[in-house]
Amino acid sequence: MVVEVKGRVEATESSQQKVEVNLLLLGANNVGKSALTVRFLTRRFIGEYGEMESVYSRVDQIHGQEVSFNVWDSLYTQDEEKSSSVSDKQLQWADGMILVYSICDHRSFDVVRQQLQYIRRHRKSVPVVIVANKRDLRHHRKVSDEEGRLLAQSQRCGFYEVSAAETYHGVLLVFHRLVDLVRESRALRKSSAGVRGIVRSVSARFGKKWVE
């Protein structure tokens, strides 16, 4: 299912090229992936969702630039052959990933760790943000803040502990931070490609002179 949500877009005198980003949400069931997605898209919190997988779209402004979001809210299914439950299609589609676990469920943290290991083996440099959700239920905490931060640091990921139920701002920061990481990754790839092109050009020129 594809749902399009249009955010408010203010016109600027110097219009910049629109950026499009594909963001994938991963994690076990019942950790709040859909709640985070809908909170970001509509500012509203809805606590109960059925088992469904959807791709949502939204246009927003970040740092004065128009950004088109495509958000894939994935469904976790345990696969015997691929225990990480991350498909090749998802890996290739995503420009950035949000891995969500519940601080009240250590098993969900283990699922995120497993998925992250799989992602780093197959797409080492893709930007990832880890989200510890359900901060409002910290009296039922099973995963410490330190565990989440250490995992994020060890795998070069962003980290946020939020409550989709309590606040919109924390959720907004997650998505905007991931867009920043995607931009940085694209700029780095473009810069590296430019350097490689210069090196090839110089090598070819010197090789030609050597032959002459």
Tokens matching residue 40? 């970001």
Picking from 161, 173, 180, 171, the residue whose alpha carbon sits closest to that of residue 43 is 171
- Reported pTM: 0.82
Tell me the average confidence (pLDDT) per consecutive run of 10 residues in the chain, 212 residues long.
Answer: 45 61 96 95 86 89 92 83 79 97 98 96 95 97 98 96 96 96 92 60 55 54
CB within 8 Å of 90: residues ≥ 6 apart: 24, 26, 72, 74
Picking from 70, 166, 88, 170, the residue whose alpha carbon sits closest to that of residue 129 is 170
Secondary structure of 138-156 as H, E, C letters = HHHCCCCHHHHHHHHHHCC
DSSP letters spanning 187-207: HHHHHHHHHHHHHHHHHHHHH
H/E run at residue 130: strand 128-133
Tokens matching residue 35? 């709640």
CB within 8 Å of 67: residues ≥ 6 apart: 18, 19, 20, 21, 59, 60, 61, 179
Tokens matching residue 115? 């998925």
Predicted pLDDT of residue 2? 46
Triad 111, 100, 46: Cα angle to 5° = 130
